[in-house]
Amino acid sequence: MFKKNRIAGVDEVGRGCLAGPVFSAAVILNEKINKKDIKDSKKIPFKKRILLSKYIKKNSIYAVGTASVDEIDKLNILNASLLSMQRALNKLKLKPAIAYIDGHFAPKGIKIKYKTIIRGDEKITSIAAASIIAKVSRDLFMIKLSNKYPKYNWHKNFGYGTTEHLNGLKKYGVTKHHRKKFKPIHNILSHKTRETQQD
């Protein structure tokens, strides 16, 4: 059952990654869902997150939105994250009465009531549920992408700037899935340009 004054929790993942899109989810929970294990996705082990994501999807109305690497480079990561949130909200099959959005900022042009909540994934169950679905969706995307680009360890680091990922960048270079405006990638590309000019 879904209340008439439906609340949609909204959260994003992947802002700090060096590679891959940013993902967001919007979730309206069934009021009878068991909320006991639903918490900030960062505090849940990988395998349990996958199980919880499946459970939440069965007991909610949800949608996932993304913003591409090109959009991240063009708009900057904050605006791309907000765009992915807007896309998730727009894809919901039922319109919520209000959206609780994790963080300081809300997407522009939202046509429903909303409230931004700092550390919302720790305070609001529907935001935590959104963080779980967004995190699992993005992780599975990066694992699949890692099959084509195994040298960067994306199946383990999911695009974050781990030692293995940075070593892969130094050794094998930048792919089309890397965020060109992010400092480590930008530095590599700038260094490569300087080398070319010197040659």
Same domain, 35 and 92: yes
CB atoms within 10 A of CB 167: 13
Mean pLDDT of 116-137: 97
* Residues in a beta bridge with 9: 27, 100
pLDDT at position 141 over 70 = yes
What pLDDT is stored for residue 197 in this prediction?
31
Which of 146, 164, 185 is the endpoint of a domain? Answer: 146
Asked if the structure places residue 162 within a domain, the reply is yes
Confidence of residue 3 (pLDDT cuts 50, 70, 90): low
What pLDDT is stored for residue 4 in this prediction?
65
Domain count, the chain: 2
Same domain, 156 and 128: no
Cα 129 vs. chain centroid, distance in angstroms?
13
Mean pLDDT of 80-97: 97
Same domain, 95 and 179: no
Domain extent for 133: 7-146
What pLDDT is stored for residue 189 in this prediction?
87
Per-residue pLDDT tens digits for 38-57 = 999 999 999 999 999 999 99
Return left, alpha or beta for 159; rule: phi > 0 is left, psi -120 to 50 is alpha, else beta: left
pLDDT at position 73 over 80 = yes
For residue 46, give the CATH number of its domain. 3.30.420.10
